[in-house]
Amino acid sequence: MIRVSPTLAGMRTYPFVRLTEAKRELAARGVRVIDFGVGEPREETPRFIREALVAAVPARSTYPLAEGLPELREAVAGWCERRFGTPLDPDTEVIPTLGAKEAIFHLAQVLDGELVAVTTPGYPVAARGAAFAGRGVVELPLRAERGFLPDLDAVAPETWERIAVLWLNYPSNPTAATAPLALYEEAAGLARRHGFVLASDEAYSELYFGSEAPASALQVADRSHVCVLNTLSKRSSMPGYRSGFVAGDPELIAALKRYRPNVGVAPPDFIQRAAVAAWADEGHVRDVRALYRAKRDVLLPALERAGLRHVGGDATFFLWLADAEAAAAHLLERGVVLAPGSYFGPAGAGYARLALVPELAECERAAEIVAAL
């Protein structure tokens, strides 16, 4: 028999693979599926971005450099300054990535320390990356009574000394909560004091429904020991392009530039040139927000009338539904697929996550199914 890594052998199947299997079973029974389970945008990528990609496809292809194109680093730095008021050096504080997921997975391999701290319920990739890097995982629970923010004071100083990286994710997947700048300042202070890295996954920073745009860890007064990850997948409906970035502490960016040629995960140059066009434009992002707001306005009242309460925040394209396990099972039988909260860790048990990614007409149909539940 092939000797498989014990980490892989002992790891449960990735949660959304299980969800795919459930959808296949429904389809085999002839049930029409409306998939709110996987948070994959399904809207058209704006035409100007597609045209920029096509125009950049070369007759002769070359391997992309791990440090990325200067034009893309400059576009990212320009966007960060416009959006967060934070000037960045594109040569030393920005590196393009193959989306955010691979960078989240790999970061524990770049940094020294016994442990990785993650919030729960949360995106599972940070903990899985830690496991493959041979790091232990410290879970910081997110509770509704705290606004789904972690209690950093609950971690002992001797534990912080063993941490390689603290992961925060706001706006939050799955809770849709946002974080105040004060949380980032507190976490950054701990990172400097104990020598770990604060890594902030901000993939949903541009999807919000309140009047105030979410804060970023890039806005802290001292960005040493801090990095932020973002992606075009959500803001620009570009999930298949796999284009994101890490920005922050120049020492960490330098370490990533040494590490990343070994794993060969730089986006192709023609993807990077399409990304330049995407980061330079905000009009299409406003359109994307309006579209998700329309879907939310269709589904949220129907869910509330059915007794399914969204108890999370006012951002992302997720609804975090409390006491929803039984209802999610009933909806699944009718083809409406939600993600069980337990997919995001034990702290998610009893909840269900609804991703507002089906087209508006499908959301309207799902609202009718919920109303008949």
Q: What is the CATH number of the domain that holds 80?
A: 3.40.640.10
Query: Do 112 and 196 sit in the same domain of this protein?
Result: yes
Residue 52 inside a domain? The answer is no
Query: Do 263 and 235 sit in the same domain of this protein?
Result: yes
Query: Do 263 and 294 sit in the same domain of this protein?
Result: no
The domain boundary, picked from 279, 308, 327, lies at 279
Residue 54 inside a domain? The answer is no
Query: Do 274 and 354 sit in the same domain of this protein?
Result: no
Concatenating the DSSP letter of every residue in 31-99 gives: PPPEE-SS----SPPPHHHHHHHHHH--SS--PPPTT--HHHHHHHHHHHHHHHS----TTTSEEEEST
The domain boundary, picked from 279, 302, 327, lies at 279
What is the predicted pLDDT for the residue at 355? 97
Domain that residue 258 falls in: 60-279
The domain boundary, picked from 254, 279, 304, lies at 279
* Residue pLDDT tens, the chain, 373 long: 899 999 989 988 887 788 888 888 888 889 899 999 999 999 999 999 999 999 999 999 999 999 999 999 999 999 999 999 999 999 999 999 999 999 999 999 999 999 999 999 999 999 999 999 999 999 999 999 999 999 999 999 999 999 999 999 999 999 999 999 999 999 999 999 999 999 999 999 999 999 899 999 999 999 999 999 999 999 999 999 999 999 999 999 999 999 999 999 999 999 999 999 999 999 999 999 999 999 999 999 999 999 999 999 999 999 999 999 889 989 998 999 999 999 999 999 999 999 999 999 999 999 999 998 7
Query: Do 122 and 217 sit in the same domain of this protein?
Result: yes
Q: How many domains does the chain have?
A: 2
Concatenating the DSSP letter of every residue in 283-327 gives: HHHHHHHHHHHHHHHHHHHHHHHTT-EE-S-SBTTEEEEET-HHH
Query: Do 264 and 295 sit in the same domain of this protein?
Result: no
What are the CA-CA distances from residue 167 to residues 116, 144, 243, 280 (Å)? 8, 19, 20, 28
Residue 296 inside a domain? The answer is yes
Contact call for residues 3 and 304 (beta carbons, < 8 A): no
Query: Do 343 and 263 sit in the same domain of this protein?
Result: no
Residue 353 inside a domain? The answer is yes
Query: Do 295 and 240 sit in the same domain of this protein?
Result: no
What is the predicted pLDDT for the residue at 187? 98
Query: Do 261 and 329 sit in the same domain of this protein?
Result: no
Query: Do 303 and 265 sit in the same domain of this protein?
Result: no
Q: Which residue in the block uniquely carries the two structure tokens 């508006």?
A: 360
Residue 1 inside a domain? The answer is no
CATH (domain of 26) = 3.90.1150.10
Long-range own/partner contacts, residues 306-310 (CB < 8 A, 24 or more apart): 306/370, 306/371, 306/373, 308/370, 310/176
What is the predicted pLDDT for the residue at 90? 98
Query: Do 169 and 86 sit in the same domain of this protein?
Result: yes
Query: Do 117 and 263 sit in the same domain of this protein?
Result: yes
